[in-house]
Chains A and B, each alone.
Chain A
Amino acid sequence: MSTVLECRNVTKEFHVAGSKVVAVDDVSLEFTGGDVLAVVGESGSGKSTLARMLLRLMPVTSGTISFRGDDVTHLRGHALRNYWSEVQAVFQDPFASFNQFFPVGRLLRRSLALAEVDRDEADALIEECLGYVGLTPAQALHKYPHQLSGGQRQRIMLARALMMRPKVLLADEATSMLDATLRVNVLNVLHDLKDDLGLTVLFITHDIGQACYLADRVAVMEHGKVVERGTTDEVIFAPRGDYTKRLLADVPDLKGSLKRKV
Chain B
Amino acid sequence: MSTPNVAVVDEQAAPRSNPFRSFNFTARFWVALVLVAFVLLLGLAGFLYPTASNDKVGSLYDAPGNGIPLGTDNFGHDVLAVLMAGTRTSLIIGLLAGVIATVIGVVVGLVAGFVGGWLEEFLMGVTNVVLAIPSIIVLILISISLPQSNLWSLAVVIGITSWPWTARAVRAQASSVATREHIDVARLSGARLPSILFRDVLPYILSYAVMAFVLQVSGAILAEAALSMLGLGPAGTDSLGTQLHWALAFQAVASGAWWAFLPPTIVLTLVSFGFLLLQASLDEVFNPRLRRGKRKQMKQTAARRLEQAQREQVQRGTPVAAAPGEGGNS
Contact = CB atoms under 8 A, between A and B. Distances in A.
- Say if the two chains contact directly (CB < 8 Å): yes
A100 B19 contact: yes
Interface in B194-227: 199-200, 203-204
A110 B190 CA distance: 8
Contacts of A84: 187-190
B11 A150 contact: yes
B189 A95 contact: no
Nearest to A161: B188
A60 interface: no
A35 B290 CA distance: 49
B190 A149 contact: no
B184 interface: yes
Given A81-B190, A89-B188, A113-B190, A98 B14 contact: no
A38 B182 CA distance: 24
Counting chain A CB atoms within 10 Å of each CB, which of B18, B182, B184, B204 scores highest?
B182
B209 to A, nearest CB: 14
B180 A96 contact: yes
A98 B182 contact: yes
Contact of A160 (B180, B181, B184, B189): B189
B16 interface: yes
Interface residues of A, number: 38
A97 B204 CA distance: 14
B184 to A, nearest CB: 6
Interface residues of B, number: 23
Contact of B182 (A85, A96, A150, A179): A96
Interface string A70-92: 00000000000100110011011
A61 interface: no
A115 B203 CA distance: 26
B13 A99 contact: no
Contact of A107 (B18, B181, B185, B203): B185
A97 B185 contact: yes
A95 B188 contact: no
B255 interface: no
A43 B229 CA distance: 62
Contact of A111 (B14, B189, B199): B189
A91 B179 CA distance: 13
Contact of A97 (B12, B18, B182, B190): B182
A148 B13 contact: yes
A197 interface: no
B191 interface: yes
A33 to B, nearest CB: 21
Given A96-B181, A100-B19, A146-B18, A88 B188 contact: yes
B17 interface: yes
A107 B189 contact: yes
B185 A91 contact: yes
B157 to A, nearest CB: 35
B115 to A, nearest CB: 14
B11 to A, nearest CB: 5
Interface string A36-63: 0000000000000000000101000000
A183 to B, nearest CB: 11
Interface string A131-153: 00000000000001111111110
A7 to B, nearest CB: 18
A101 B185 contact: no
A96 B200 CA distance: 12
A124 interface: no
Interface in B288-310: none
Nearest to A102: B199
Counting chain B CB atoms within 10 Å of each CB, which of A101, A107, A114 scores highest?
A101
Contacts of A81: 190
Nearest to A82: B190
A114 B189 contact: yes
A149 B13 contact: yes
Given A100-B19, A151-B11, A57 B187 contact: yes
Given A96-B181, A97-B181, A99-B203, A182 B189 contact: no
Given A110-B189, A146-B19, A182-B11, 18 more contacts: A57-B187, A57-B188, A84-B188, A88-B188, A89-B188, A91-B181, A99-B203, A100-B182, A107-B189, A110-B186, A110-B190, A111-B189, A111-B190, A146-B16, A147-B13, A149-B13, A150-B11, A179-B11
Interface of A: 55, 57, 81, 84-85, 88-89, 91-93, 95-102, 107, 110-111, 113-114, 144-152, 157, 160-161, 179, 181-182
The 10 closest A-B pairs by CB, nearest first: A114-B190, A146-B16, A96-B181, A101-B203, A111-B189, A97-B181, A149-B13, A110-B189, A99-B182, A149-B11
19 contacts: A57-B187, A57-B188, A84-B189, A84-B190, A88-B188, A89-B184, A91-B185, A95-B16, A97-B184, A97-B185, A98-B182, A98-B185, A101-B19, A144-B18, A146-B16, A149-B12, A150-B11, A181-B11, A182-B11
